Structure 1
Amino acid sequence: MSGKRVVVIGGGVIGLSVAYHLAEAGVEVTLLERGSLGSGASRATADVVRSYFANNAISSALGVRSLDAYRAFPARPGVDLPLRQVGYLVLFTEPAQVTAFEADLPAQHAAGVDVGLIEAEEARKLNPLIGDIPLLAAAYSPDAYISDTTAIVTAYAWAAERAGAVLRTGCPVTAVDPEAGRVRTAEGEIGADAVVCAAGAWSGSLLRSAGIDIPLTEPIEQELLTTDPLAPGTPDIPVTLHAASGLLVRLRGDRLLIGMGYPGPDRESWRREVASRVAEVYPCLGGVGLHTAVTGLRDASPDRTAFIGHRPGPPAFLYATGFSGHGLCNAPAAGELVRDLYLDLDPGMDVTALAVSPRRTG
């Protein structure tokens, strides 16, 4: 051990990645989770890991780095993850969408993303369920995989504990004193050389109680839907996004898993809108039954890019929050960056764009 003691707040995929990477580097880590591991935003995902995030090259760079780590899981930390490559398809029905994609493409390629513009005919071959919509073209990235969030959470927890981290569940944090490096729980106070906030949807209230200003938006309730069983012989398809509506679909077994924005207070109206969009984009599925698959709260930032940064100590304070639905795709990179920031190692990328700054907060 290095003699450094760090408390990580949050036991979702981000906090567990942070705990693993710090413990692997010889840091004495205690992770505190208010519920069970992976019980927050990590349980409300589509189980998709990808690297392409439109008009967000920073998130894309984190996604590229994270995909490399997920593919290497059998070697490090030594766990076989379910990873089924299906690709990611974004349908463009408006000329402005194509123009925006072409303008964004150099930044995406610079971030290491494998993505390109394909013709409408090729997009329909990749996803034969697409109906007679005015499809102009599509973005396609082969680097998208169906995984299992629970398996990733379990793998990181196992690896963190094997590296010496202590994971405490059912242990909500009631207060943080970043100046003193102390964290208060119902079971007492814990002192540390550094505190890491990776508390997802609970980060905002926790940070405010500590007098730390990170401009997170209020937690957003997410809901994913699933269809009735589809007809036998339904073809496998890429994860597919209809850019105009935000309708996202992927196959899960013999059903479609569906997301579209956030339900808001009028959930029934939102469901009717989802059903209408499904029938528009995929007429063969018109009238299919829709059912709740998962719900959960998500943390979010104003620019839909994570906040990852630190205030040097001692005691140090670090944060990895505001992932805006990209947490599963960014988790390995987030853990590596927090480790590197704390231990003053080369992070291998420019992290200033991830920190809290006037440029991001206005």
Structure 2
Amino acid sequence: MSRPHRPADPAVVIGGGVVGLSAACHLAEAGVRTVLLERDELGSGASRATADVVRTYFPGNPVASAMAVRSLAAYRAFADRAGTAVPLRRVGYLVLFGEAEQAAACEADLPAQRAAGVEVELIGADEARRRNPLLGDVPLVAAAWSPDAYVTDTAAIVGGFAEAARRAGAELRTGCPVKAVDIEAGRLDTGDGPLAAHAVVCAAGAWSAPLARSAGVELPLGDPVEQELLACGRPPSGVPVPDVPMTLHAASGLLVRKRGDGLLVGMGCPGADRDGWRARVRERLAEVYPALAGAEVRTAFTGVRDASPDRTEFIGRLPGPIPFLYAAGFSGHGLCTAPAAGELVRDLYSGRTPDIDAARLAAVPERT
């Protein structure tokens, strides 16, 4: 049975990762009484397994790129919100194309990327090898180069958003899982008992789909996946890895960035055969970067994340007895777009026309 709207009840944000914290922070700063519920500790889900990189270029996805451009501006001004700046060490982002078709697709995408505010260009193979001298003799016809990629500190961003949210009046509860959402009654079933809400924001990462389903909302998310990043140590030669940009080998999905004397390495998700996946990563790493053949490779971070069909986040609002908002499907790049996602959640909550084209991000789910 539905009940009337009660402004004294809080807006409840489910999820204490960087996206949920951004949403809670933006709502609280707008004067909304806000409670955030996190099942574990803040930043313990997908936010725990990031490459600590924010970038603006998302190949073939100008919507995410526009969100990332807006978010980078927010990170540059983060001290104004959180009281402390976050580190931003510029490294750039290099995407390697081994086939002419990949380079052509990149070139066709450039106008939309630049319209989104991204600085990116298509460069030749020689220039790509100059930017990343570790590259071996792999097929390479061209590369995309975007200078706006920065090594940062995810924990500092999580902590900064949490501090800013608290200062704005938000209540952050950890160790408080949400079991179900009853939109009709305006109530959440939590580990601390029932909690009334006048609005709900689902930003629970890998747990978003089942929580939304309990509220009668079907978000088109795939099954949660476990992300793993590997640490590759110093090359067997003993020579430290040079300063190289964050580099994506488009054909294999191998992604690396400089970390200490070695590299931080990712290549999709392990799946059930984790040992087989690690063996494939080592093989591809040695092929693309021969100097690293035989280097020690071990687990650096793991975390569970959600995934949308096209890796574009879903952000929207559904009308009902109480508003139900969602920010999910970030597919591992929530750190890059979290500030803009929080702004969009705030605007959708308040009924303001967002600066971002919200219609392009709505999941358009149906109630079950």
| Range into which the TM-score falls when normalised by the shorter chain | over 0.9
Kindly state the Cα deviation for residue 4 of structure 1 after the two structures are TM-superposed: 6.9
1:132-211 equivalences under 5 Å are 132-211=137-216
Q: Deviations over 1:264-322 (max 9, x none)?
A: 11111111111111111101111112101111111011111111000135511100001
1:195-274 equivalences under 5 Å are 195-230=200-235, 231-274=238-281
Kindly state the Cα deviation for residue 179 of structure 1 after the two structures are TM-superposed: 2.2
| Structure 1 unaligned residues grouped into runs of 5+ | none
Paired with 2:9 and 2:114, the residues of 1 have a C-alpha distance of 38
Residues paired across the two proteins, number:
358
Kindly state the Cα deviation for residue 232 of structure 1 after the two structures are TM-superposed: 4.0
- Structure 1, 63-72 or 343-352: larger mean CA deviation: 343-352
Q: CA RMSD in A?
A: 1.5
| Structure 2 unaligned residues grouped into runs of 5+ | 1-6
Q: Where do 4+ consecutive residues of structure 1 move more than 4 Å?
A: none
Query: Tell me, what secondary structure is at the counterpart of 2:79?
Result: coil
Judge conservation of contact 2:82–2:163 (CA < 8 Å) in 1: no
1:275 to 263, 282, 288: 282
Paired amino acid for 1:44: A
Q: Is residue 318 of structure 1 aligned with residue 325 of structure 2? A: yes
Paired amino acid for 2:37: L
Hey, what does 1:70 align to over in structure 2? 75
Q: Is residue 89 of structure 1 aligned with residue 94 of structure 2? A: yes
Hey, what does 2:353 align to over in structure 1? 346
Judge conservation of contact 2:234–2:240 (CA < 8 Å) in 1: no
Paired amino acid for 2:74: A
Paired with 2:139 and 2:200, the residues of 1 have a C-alpha distance of 51
TM-score by length of 1: 0.96
Hey, what does 2:22 align to over in structure 1? 17
Paired amino acid for 2:168: A
Kindly state the Cα deviation for residue 225 of structure 1 after the two structures are TM-superposed: 0.5
Query: Tell me, what secondary structure is at the counterpart of 2:163?
Result: helix
Paired with 1:208 and 1:128, the residues of 2 have a C-alpha distance of 49
Hey, what does 1:8 align to over in structure 2? 13
Kindly state the Cα deviation for residue 62 of structure 1 after the two structures are TM-superposed: 0.7
Paired with 2:192 and 2:289, the residues of 1 have a C-alpha distance of 53
- Structure 1, 71-80 or 193-202: larger mean CA deviation: 71-80
Paired amino acid for 2:156: A
Percent of residue pairs bearing the same amino acid type: 65
Paired amino acid for 1:137: A
Query: Tell me, what secondary structure is at the counterpart of 1:170?
Result: coil
Query: Tell me, what secondary structure is at the counterpart of 1:74?
Result: helix
Kindly state the Cα deviation for residue 221 of structure 1 after the two structures are TM-superposed: 1.1
Hey, what does 1:334 align to over in structure 2? 341
Paired with 1:14 and 1:211, the residues of 2 have a C-alpha distance of 22
Q: Is residue 129 of structure 1 aligned with residue 143 of structure 2? A: no
Paired with 2:8 and 2:87, the residues of 1 have a C-alpha distance of 36
Kindly state the Cα deviation for residue 33 of structure 1 after the two structures are TM-superposed: 0.3
Paired with 2:168 and 2:239, the residues of 1 have a C-alpha distance of 46
